[in-house]
Chains A and B, each alone.
Chain A
Amino acid sequence: MRIGVVTFPGTLDDRDALRAIRIAGGTPVSLWHGDDDIQGVDAVVLPGGFSYGDYLRCGAIARFAPVMNTIAKLAGPPDQVAPGLPVLGICNGFQVLTESHLLPGALVRNEKQQFVCRDQKLRIERTSTSWTNAYSQNDEIVVPLKNGEGGFVADEPTLDRLEGEGRVVARYLEGNPNGSYRDIAGISNASGTVVGLMPHPEHATEALYGPEGTDGCDGLPFFTSALQGVLSA
């Protein structure tokens, strides 16, 4: 199972994502933003960072990178029922996914205008995705969160539709760090192949390295899910 990780200029967490994939048992493949070839990978991770410096808006310029044209074509529109290429966007990757219109809504500056960096408790609410099927419904996990523009916003009909169709993948527990509407930490497309998540599961995949008070591996099932999910799709 080969999973690609895209590096844009300004990406920071690509190494962690590559390592997380390896720890999960997959074969990590580095992808470059300027290539339109994704080397036949079975799934793609858009990691955290500040693509193209996040000048203009977070993810706005990355959306037009050659690699994103290919990924968008293979992933399909957000309401498509047939499964396309599995894509996980973490933090800046989530911002790139909304700017690419692969997921609805947008990410805006944190409500209190401060960069937030902390261990964050989440509830996994959708497990029928390529990236969360190794969790059980309503599992509570703790993974690091670090963002300045992590407030998820969308208009009321879009939020109602996401809730109604069960497309809220993860929700913040014990405090909303960034003012995200309805405490939403992550969402998916209709088929469950494309997931955007603001916190960072790739930083909690090794014992002793993850948040204190946990075994440090609460984020690993995101990556083991991809291995199972792609096979069963």
Chain B
Amino acid sequence: MGRVVIDVMPKPEILDPQGKAVVGALARLGFSEFDGARQGKRFELEVEGEVDQAVLDRAREAAVTLLSNPVIEDVVAVRAASNQE
């Protein structure tokens, strides 16, 4: 069984309130070296058989059709999961 990992992040110019909350909490806990945080989403799609280029292409299509909203989010990675993941 193969697995495709898709990472979706809020666009840089869009305010990310979750990331803002995270960086504020980090500072309160003493992790003051981190000046910013942005929070995204990771999807894992499973397929029977190998993850080849055709599967990755379909996964990208799914990512831009449903998994992300291009107005506010970027699909930053579509890749086959490694065995360790």
| A interface residue numbers (CB < 8 A to B) | 56-57, 60-61, 64, 98-99, 104-106, 108-113, 151, 153-155, 179
| B residues contacting the other copy or chain, number (CB 8 A) | 12
Q: A181's closest neighbor in chain B, by CB?
A: B15
A interface secondary structure, majority: loop
Residues on B with beta carbons closer than 8 Å to the beta carbon of A99? 69
Q: Is B17 at the interface (CB under 8 A from chain A)?
A: yes
| B interface residue numbers (CB < 8 A to A) | 10, 13-15, 17-18, 21, 66-67, 69, 71-72
Shortest CB–CB separation between residue A111 and chain B, in angstroms?
A: 6
Residues on B with beta carbons closer than 8 Å to the beta carbon of A61? 66
Shortest CB–CB separation between residue B63 and chain A, in angstroms?
A: 12
Contacting residue for A113 out of B18, B69, B71, B72, CB 8 A: B18
Number of A-B contacts defined by CB within 8 Å:
37
What are 10 contact pairs spanning A and B, CB under 8 A? A56-B67, A61-B66, A105-B71, A106-B69, A106-B71, A108-B17, A108-B72, A109-B18, A153-B15, A153-B72
A58 to B84 CA separation, bound complex (whole angstroms): 33
Q: A153's closest neighbor in chain B, by CB?
A: B14
Could you tell me if A108 and B21 are in contact, using CB atoms closer than 8 angstroms?
Answer: no
Residues on A with beta carbons closer than 8 Å to the beta carbon of B72? 106, 108, 153
Point out which of B21, B67, B69 has the most chain A C-beta atoms below 10 A from its C-beta. Answer: B69
A179 to B10 CA separation, bound complex (whole angstroms): 16
A183 to B65 CA separation, bound complex (whole angstroms): 29
Could you tell me if B69 and A151 are in contact, using CB atoms closer than 8 angstroms?
Answer: no
Shortest CB–CB separation between residue B39 and chain A, in angstroms?
A: 10
Shortest CB–CB separation between residue B73 and chain A, in angstroms?
A: 8
Sorted nearest first, the 7 A-B pairs with minimum C-beta distance are A106-B71, A106-B72, A113-B17, A109-B17, A106-B69, A113-B21, A153-B14
Q: B67's closest neighbor in chain A, by CB?
A: A56
Contacting residue for B13 out of A57, A111, A155, CB 8 A: A155
Could you tell me if B15 and A108 are in contact, using CB atoms closer than 8 angstroms?
Answer: yes
Could you tell me if B66 and A151 are in contact, using CB atoms closer than 8 angstroms?
Answer: no
A108 to B13 CA separation, bound complex (whole angstroms): 13
Q: B72's closest neighbor in chain A, by CB?
A: A106
Shortest CB–CB separation between residue B70 and chain A, in angstroms?
A: 9
Shortest CB–CB separation between residue B69 and chain A, in angstroms?
A: 6
